[in-house]
Structures are given as C-alpha cells and as structure tokens.
Amino acid sequence: MPIYRDCTLHELMVLFVLCLMVCVALGMLLLGLVAGQVLLGACIGVPVSFLGIPVAAKRLQQAKVGKPLGYYTQRLALWLEAKQLYSTPFLIRQGIWSINDDKRN
C-alpha cells in the first residue's frame, strides 16, 4: 500500500537509512576536511538527510512506473545477496530450467 509518492513504508525506511548514511558521511568528510569539525558534520548531516528523502522518493517514483509494489526493495535485497551482505528468503537459481524428460528418447 503506497504511503508517500507511491512508495511503500518499507521502501521509505530504506530510503531514509540510505539518505542518512550518505548525508552523515558527506557532512563528516566535508566539514572534517574544511574546518576540522567532524562531529559538527555528523550533526548537520542528520537534518539534511530529511531533505533528501522527498528527492529520493521522487526519483524512485519515476523509476517504479509500470512495476509492482516492492519491486526495487526486492531488487536491492537480491543485489545484497549477490554481494553476500544479506541473506534473502528468495529462491535464486541460475541456469536452464527444463521440463523435458530426456530419458524417453
């Protein structure tokens, strides 16, 4: 069920965590290099991450046109599974599926 800009609650939570990590890291890096105030960069990065959520949600909304609910959350989980960072409950198989019985020939 869409909550905000056609994003589900789970997608919004993932967006928030990603925006928070990026903004805090960038704030710490920039203010750490420029002014030597790493902690101040982290403190500024938190409110800035809230400003990044509408921008990220709009971009995700444009990317989700024609796709089912939770599509990109599932794609992210499968990508993390491929990088061995997360374990998913999905069946993942690469290869050829065949229903032919080769023994009858």
Confidence of residue 60 (pLDDT cuts 50, 70, 90): confident
**Residue 2 binned pLDDT confidence (cut-offs 50, 70, 90):** low
Mean pLDDT, the chain, whole residue set: 84
- Predicted confidence at residue 1, as pLDDT, reads 61
Q: Give residue 10's pLDDT.
A: 82
The rounded distance, in Å, linking the Cα atoms of 56 and 12 is 9
Evaluate whether residue 57 is within a structural domain: yes
Instruction: Please indicate, yes or no, if residue 35 is contained in any of the structural domains.
Output: yes
- Cα maximum dimension of the chain: 77
Its domain, for residue 38, covers: 9-67
DSSP strands (E only) in the chain: none
Torsion angle of C-alpha atoms 50, 39, 27, 23, degrees rounded to 10: -30
Question: How many angstroms separate the CA atoms of 105 and 100, rounded?
Answer: 10
How many structural domains does the chain have? 1
